[in-house]
Chains A and B, each alone.
Chain A
């Protein structure tokens, strides 16, 4: 059977994997990192819009199409918490706000959702990072934080 060294190595490998899995839970718990929520779909998600829930809470409903996002520019006061909802009206699109680790897929017939807090002012780019046809490289939107409203 396996010798002493090999048993040690398998033990260490299991331990290291356990450590990684612990880190994964730590990131979920302490850092509140999570993947998209899984919501039931209805047609209302195909209306692109921004709505203010209360003073510091916003909801943005994005609709991705070949080859733009609607709304293409969103203004948010600094310090707000924002729910992003993303769906697609045609092919699969990506939805990436790199600085905030927002990373969702826009799929027709389904809706992805995540929540982010914007503490720092700035212009946050939303980049489509899934190939969606010949205009894919043009597909970017902006979230402008702490901008005088339009």
Chain B
């Protein structure tokens, strides 16, 4: 499909800006494993403090990159499937808000005024522009979404008896989740934290801010994941040379995500005081509910791939696996997606440990946790983003991929790296190695009283794996920027490979309408979260003034000074 030049450019900016920033994120990923392994015993390196860098790493990799990509991919998906371009003014406003917000937050972080990590837990205080910038980034993504909703409503009026294309359904479900969950964090940031960080209100309820953050924080991980799921369902089977086993399964999975992605955020707060055990247990159990759509997806995708392998002449029980086009540079996207799926098997299983209520005590906030989520967000999510960003860039600029062979091996190299890296971190976590800690200064410093020799091997594994990940990241940058800078050889277009469906299925109206699902979503959310919020309001007995990360004494607010 042909897209007008301004829309193409907006999408390209939404790919280019976050990937440019990602260079900082990946650089500091490498630095983190170096510090943590005790290779250097310093609080900062090349003018970048460990925790400042970790904030950049979390915000850029997990929030900026993922949000920009979801919007860019959403624009392309909606336009391609509904054959209608997004509105220029809305898209322009959206990208300006997102870029502007990102620049504000980046400034605050790079100036060292916001070293509070990407969770910005109060009462640690960041510069107001850090909060405002993040909020604008989010609002910008809403604007794009509102525009898609208008396009979709018009389309649906004309096509009321036609199934909404699965990719469009997935995109709309994803941004509905995103819109609802970000309302909580927008409230936290705009109503509670900005006035407090400006000194207009003296104190905040820490338990409440944490609970609002995690109302958003867990759904955030599904917001990362669903673009990858859309690719698994609608693109991967085609790349493999087969068909999608069942489209209905995809619809069911997406609607289950709509119901269950948000009301489980308290599973990040099992160790928090002020929230009752009943709420924690309920949300722990609901978390297992949200594993069901992932099981469904695993089966559907495996069945689709098996079909592809057999079409390519596979015999016997397992031979189909080896018939898939792993190293075919013409379908390099297959390599990115399949490696993500392989990592996700381990990511999903380790996630079940985290979700299991009291079992969470074994691993909460240890190195296990980053070990786990580099198998998810730095696994299927990140690899899908890398592969698709190259695919879209090449198509939207009409340029050939720079170094296509290198491009084909990037996901394999990355996967090997992550597997080693995560083994190290998860093992360390089981031995009590804390996350979010500059281990090189104390725990991995033989000169320090706190030195712990058990964590030498685990952090060394992290270093080895992290080094490989860094190398893969570097190769990706060469391919991505190389493609951007090369000469145009074709007409710019956007054409996604689209999987046909294996079963011919009748349209099931309930899986092609939003209203009843939205109502159910609201009801579940209400029941799961009203008690949690009430608990934080009732059980937290003292509000907290702001603190800078560098100073044990609170920041005196302007109100008190007067």
Chain A contact residues, CB within 8 Å of chain B = 1-3, 5-6, 9-10, 12-14, 16-17, 20-21, 23-24, 27-28, 31, 33-43, 65-67, 86-87, 90-92, 94, 96, 98-99, 101-105, 107-113, 125, 127-134, 136-138, 140
Please tell me the size bucket of the interface on B. Answer: 35 or more
Q: Which residues of the other chain, A, contact B49 by a CB distance below 8 angstroms?
A: 134
Residues B365 and A129 in contact, CB atoms below 8 Å apart:
yes
Add 5 more A-B contacts to A35-B270, A129-B434 (CB < 8 A). Answer: A20-B352, A24-B359, A27-B356, A27-B359, A38-B276
Question: CA separation between A42 and B540, bound complex, in Å?
Answer: 9
The listed residue (B300, B360, B431, B436) touching A129 by CB distance below 8 A is B436
Give the contact stretch, choosing among B2-10, B100-108, B277-285: B277-285
Residues B272 and A36 in contact, CB atoms below 8 Å apart:
yes
Closest CB-CB distance, B235 to chain A, in whole Å? 21
Q: Which residues of the other chain, A, contact B359 by a CB distance below 8 angstroms?
A: 24, 27, 33
Chain B contact residues, CB within 8 Å of chain A = 43, 49, 51, 54, 117, 121, 123-124, 205-207, 210, 246, 248-249, 269-277, 280, 284-285, 288-289, 291-292, 295-296, 299-300, 303, 352, 356-362, 364-366, 431-432, 434-439, 441-443, 450, 503, 505-506, 508, 535, 539-544, 547-552, 554
Question: CA separation between A9 and B210, bound complex, in Å?
Answer: 37
Chain A residue at minimum C-beta to C-beta distance from B548: A133
Residues B303 and A129 in contact, CB atoms below 8 Å apart:
no
Residues A42 and B549 in contact, CB atoms below 8 Å apart:
no
Closest CB-CB distance, B118 to chain A, in whole Å? 11
Residues B206 and A28 in contact, CB atoms below 8 Å apart:
no
Q: Which residues of the other chain, B, contact A17 by a CB distance below 8 angstroms?
A: 288-289, 291-292, 295
Residues A102 and B542 in contact, CB atoms below 8 Å apart:
no
Residues B361 and A101 in contact, CB atoms below 8 Å apart:
yes
Residues A105 and B272 in contact, CB atoms below 8 Å apart:
yes
Q: Which residues of the other chain, A, contact B292 by a CB distance below 8 angstroms?
A: 10, 13-14, 17
Cβ contacts A to B, 12 pairs, < 8 Å: A3-B503, A6-B296, A28-B357, A33-B361, A34-B277, A41-B274, A41-B541, A86-B273, A94-B365, A96-B364, A110-B539, A113-B273
Q: Which residues of the other chain, B, contact A40 by a CB distance below 8 angstroms?
A: 539, 541
Residues A134 and B550 in contact, CB atoms below 8 Å apart:
yes
Question: CA separation between A99 and B452, bound complex, in Å?
Answer: 14
Closest CB-CB distance, A31 to chain B, in whole Å? 8
Q: Which residues of the other chain, B, contact A94 by a CB distance below 8 angstroms?
A: 271, 365, 434
Q: Which residues of the other chain, A, contact B276 by a CB distance below 8 angstroms?
A: 38
Top 7 nearest A-B pairs (CB, nearest first) are A98-B432, A41-B541, A33-B358, A109-B542, A13-B295, A129-B434, A110-B273
Q: Which residues of the other chain, A, contact B296 by a CB distance below 8 angstroms?
A: 6, 9-10, 13
Residues A128 and B540 in contact, CB atoms below 8 Å apart:
no
Q: Which residues of the other chain, A, contact B505 by a CB distance below 8 angstroms?
A: 1
Residues A5 and B303 in contact, CB atoms below 8 Å apart:
yes
Residues A90 and B552 in contact, CB atoms below 8 Å apart:
yes
Residues A137 and B439 in contact, CB atoms below 8 Å apart:
yes
Residues A134 and B366 in contact, CB atoms below 8 Å apart:
no
The listed residue (B123, B270, B443, B508) touching A1 by CB distance below 8 A is B508
The listed residue (B272, B288, B544, B550) touching A108 by CB distance below 8 A is B544
Q: Which residues of the other chain, B, contact A134 by a CB distance below 8 angstroms?
A: 43, 49, 51, 549-550
